[in-house]
Chains A and B, each alone.
Chain A
């Protein structure tokens, strides 16, 4: 078959792989490092030609459910999100192993070890394990492309969704990928063979759960024969290595002429028991090189704390953060006598002239105007607290604003402000972006409205999902009507334009609503300047 060579990001390779495997619907919510998957699909010619669904969803839960609906109808769908999005999608995700899949359904979760753009380092493999679902984990861009077809076939063969786990370094690294000329056809609509299975009432679920556990044996067996799991034998049995996903590349980098120790490369789960047992039997010690949390290592060590197993838990590998070729070199040197030379490098020291350069809000950004006004107003109160949220405006925590006290998860600004007000806190101000508000702020606002909580909610509306690069925002043009529809008092749903020249007006509005003893919402609005610039260029050309 003739193939074309393309230079693709890991995320783009997945997107291309899905398109070429007869995709009918892509669903997701933007989040670094996953965003480029859906963006690529939105711009692909095949998407328009085949009328593939590719709009952003309001959040990861709605995305997961929409994809499940498409799978119910027999067509192939993917869901994309960053790792913490899995928490939002967890309810439908975990239950999707109970309904099963009809059309192929692949859930892509992009983890962020080292927290380049995230609040934690959670490892999505735990979710796949928890839900009894197969997990795939590419080690390079070509594998990412090839795995999508494999994932869809598996999903349809076993009637289960498949979790595909990515990590930042692979999501955002480009390499040459060979792509066939012809894309596979899409599925026609066809309904589940056992429709009862999709109604998760207790009596049905109890039967289904037993069947799921039976099927788990089959997917376990599939891992032993997966083209993506490999037992690579070698002569030096003083050490055996288990390595997952992208970590395999760092190990290969270290040994360009071949890894001297027997190695099990893992890219498909449940873990291939027989391969691992063989390694454990044949090798004196086993080093687990794991990109992410010690998922494999914990399973291997168990409660008995097997002294033969080395890794993040025993200290040969750094306990937190992503792996690098140098961390892998140090781990091998610590685990195998005679490999100390791997870490001996003549490396220049870090210059004392280098200082940190943290990210900052763009010059001319409307969030800055909100913080200028808010800081000046709050200076008049004794103990103000500002509950922040997830987005560019989280940078208001940093100098020169130092304006927010909390940032936890999507939507927590409103609900934490409410809880604080319940405790007697005043002023309790929530600051949240437009996209985060429609993602997870609306339900919390309803709680606050129902109790007329004494909080001031500022929706800093930049008409886009800014931090991830300017994707469409689900609530654009609807924010005030959403708040009114939820039952907010029309006298206290106020709108203003975030501009330096409006500073006086913004301050007066913020102050009057903070002093109002009840719930108010202020929509402070101005388009993101990055997106505004892009719109201006588009108009010109």
Chain B
């Protein structure tokens, strides 16, 4: 078992908490984990990514080679496209469809979505909208994690347990809210990817 994951987004969106939960679930399963993060300057609203590799055999490189990632998980549509050269041929893209427009030359969003949807193995929807409906807009990243969960080769119960452990410090209410977001995301992805 081996899953190479690229997490993408804009500084401040919360991709690292997604990585933390997947990493914890993998650690609980006694899997090997390597997770390269970006800290520093680009965290101020720039593009950020994290390479997460989980495997039942030792992982050598901290970063994922070209054309090797099983999945790109992105909190922002254009950021999903940025790492396309790293995605393997039949890899999946799971992305939020709502853009973060903090630059003057952001491309036409319809064109961006057209390109993403043309790639085949794609789950894309407005995660903030769904998060708002079932929990809170702050839980968008857990909707995304839920939507990506069918492709991670980790059982959903294991991910839910890791999620509970990560949010436990913040109280029961936060755990429930984020669990609801995770489940709603998973459900939407399962429905979408069947079609």
Central interface residue in B35, B42, B63, by most chain A CB within 10 Å: B63
B36 touches A173 (CB 8 A): yes
Contact residues, B41-90 vs A (CB, 8 A): 41-47, 59-67, 78-79, 81-82, 84-87, 89
In Å, the complex CA distance between A399 and B46 comes to 14
A359 touches B62 (CB 8 A): no
Size band of the interface chain A makes with B? 35 or more
A136 CB–B CB distance under 8 Å: no
CB closest residue in chain B, given A362: B44
Residues of B within 8 A of A353 (CB): 78, 81, 107, 111-112, 115
In Å, the complex CA distance between A252 and B63 comes to 12
Binds B, one of A229-237, A340-348, A497-505: A340-348
Query: A174-B34, A355-B106 in contact; A361/B44 too (CB < 8 A)?
Result: yes
In Å, the complex CA distance between A32 and B161 comes to 33
CB closest residue in chain B, given A256: B60
Main secondary structure of the interface of A (DSSP, over half): loop
Residue in contact with A249 in the complex, picked from B40, B41, B62, B111, CB distance below 8 Å:
B62
CB distance from B68 to the nearest CB of A (A): 8
Residues of A within 8 A of B133 (CB): none
Query: A5-B27, A349-B85, A392-B44 in contact; A173/B107 too (CB < 8 A)?
Result: no
In Å, the complex CA distance between A5 and B62 comes to 18
In Å, the complex CA distance between A410 and B74 comes to 36
Query: A32-B40, A325-B65 in contact; A357/B10 too (CB < 8 A)?
Result: yes
Query: A354-B82, A357-B10 in contact; A174/B37 too (CB < 8 A)?
Result: yes
In Å, the complex CA distance between A464 and B105 comes to 32
CB distance from A307 to the nearest CB of B (A): 30
In Å, the complex CA distance between A475 and B104 comes to 37
Residue in contact with B38 in the complex, picked from A9, A116, A347, A399, CB distance below 8 Å:
A116
Per-residue interface assignment for chain A, residues 463 to 474, with 1 indicating a CB less than 8 Å from any chain B CB and 0 otherwise: 000011100000
Residue in contact with A347 in the complex, picked from B33, B45, B66, B106, CB distance below 8 Å:
B66
B23 touches A7 (CB 8 A): yes
Residues of A within 8 A of B35 (CB): 7, 173-175
Residues of A within 8 A of B37 (CB): 9, 172-174
A250 touches B60 (CB 8 A): yes
In Å, the complex CA distance between A173 and B44 comes to 19
In Å, the complex CA distance between A134 and B18 comes to 40
B146 CB–A CB distance under 8 Å: no
CB distance from A394 to the nearest CB of B (A): 9
A334 CB–B CB distance under 8 Å: no
CB distance from A422 to the nearest CB of B (A): 32
Residues of A within 8 A of B185 (CB): none
CB distance from A109 to the nearest CB of B (A): 16
Contact residues, A315-369 vs B (CB, 8 A): 324-326, 329, 345-351, 353-362
Residues of B within 8 A of A468 (CB): 40
Residues of B within 8 A of A32 (CB): 39-41
A360 touches B67 (CB 8 A): no
A360 touches B46 (CB 8 A): yes
CB distance from A315 to the nearest CB of B (A): 21
In Å, the complex CA distance between A357 and B38 comes to 15
CB distance from A399 to the nearest CB of B (A): 8
Query: A174-B35, A353-B115, A355-B107 in contact; A324/B63 too (CB < 8 A)?
Result: yes
Query: A5-B27, A175-B34 in contact; A329/B65 too (CB < 8 A)?
Result: yes
Residues of B within 8 A of A137 (CB): none
Residue in contact with B41 in the complex, picked from A176, A246, A359, CB distance below 8 Å:
A359
B115 touches A249 (CB 8 A): no
B32 CB–A CB distance under 8 Å: yes
In Å, the complex CA distance between A329 and B68 comes to 14
In Å, the complex CA distance between A346 and B104 comes to 33
Residues of B within 8 A of A356 (CB): 47, 103
In Å, the complex CA distance between A253 and B27 comes to 21
A146 CB–B CB distance under 8 Å: no
CB closest residue in chain A, given B46: A359
CB closest residue in chain A, given B111: A353
A33 CB–B CB distance under 8 Å: yes
Query: A32-B41, A362-B44 in contact; A351/B65 too (CB < 8 A)?
Result: no
B84 touches A325 (CB 8 A): no
Query: A174-B37, A357-B103 in contact; A347/B23 too (CB < 8 A)?
Result: no
In Å, the complex CA distance between A346 and B86 comes to 10
B195 CB–A CB distance under 8 Å: no
Residue in contact with A174 in the complex, picked from B23, B103, B104, B105, CB distance below 8 Å:
B23
Contact residues, B108-133 vs A (CB, 8 A): 111-112, 115
In Å, the complex CA distance between A468 and B32 comes to 29
Central interface residue in B34, B67, B89, by most chain A CB within 10 Å: B34
In Å, the complex CA distance between A361 and B35 comes to 27
B44 touches A354 (CB 8 A): no
Residues of A within 8 A of B85 (CB): 347-350
Residues of A within 8 A of B44 (CB): 359-362, 392, 395, 467
A359 touches B67 (CB 8 A): no
B63 touches A325 (CB 8 A): yes
In Å, the complex CA distance between A467 and B33 comes to 28
B61 touches A249 (CB 8 A): yes
CB distance from B70 to the nearest CB of A (A): 14
In Å, the complex CA distance between A467 and B79 comes to 23
Query: A170-B62, A357-B10, A357-B46 in contact; A176/B32 too (CB < 8 A)?
Result: yes
A355 touches B105 (CB 8 A): yes
A36 CB–B CB distance under 8 Å: yes
A347 touches B81 (CB 8 A): no
CB distance from B75 to the nearest CB of A (A): 13
In Å, the complex CA distance between A361 and B44 comes to 6
In Å, the complex CA distance between A170 and B115 comes to 34
Query: A174-B35, A355-B103, A359-B11 in contact; A116/B40 too (CB < 8 A)?
Result: yes
A218 CB–B CB distance under 8 Å: no
A285 CB–B CB distance under 8 Å: no
In Å, the complex CA distance between A536 and B111 comes to 41
B183 CB–A CB distance under 8 Å: no
A–B complex contacts, Cβ < 8 Å, 6 sampled = A117-B40, A174-B34, A175-B59, A348-B87, A357-B10, A469-B43
Which residues on A are within 8 Å of B, measured CB to CB? 5, 7, 9, 32-33, 35-36, 116-117, 169-170, 172-176, 246, 249-250, 252-253, 256, 324-326, 329, 345-351, 353-362, 392, 395, 399, 467-469
Q: A175-B59, A353-B78 are in contact. List 11 more A-B contacts (CB 8 A).
A: A33-B40, A36-B39, A116-B42, A325-B64, A326-B66, A348-B85, A356-B103, A357-B102, A359-B11, A359-B46, A467-B41
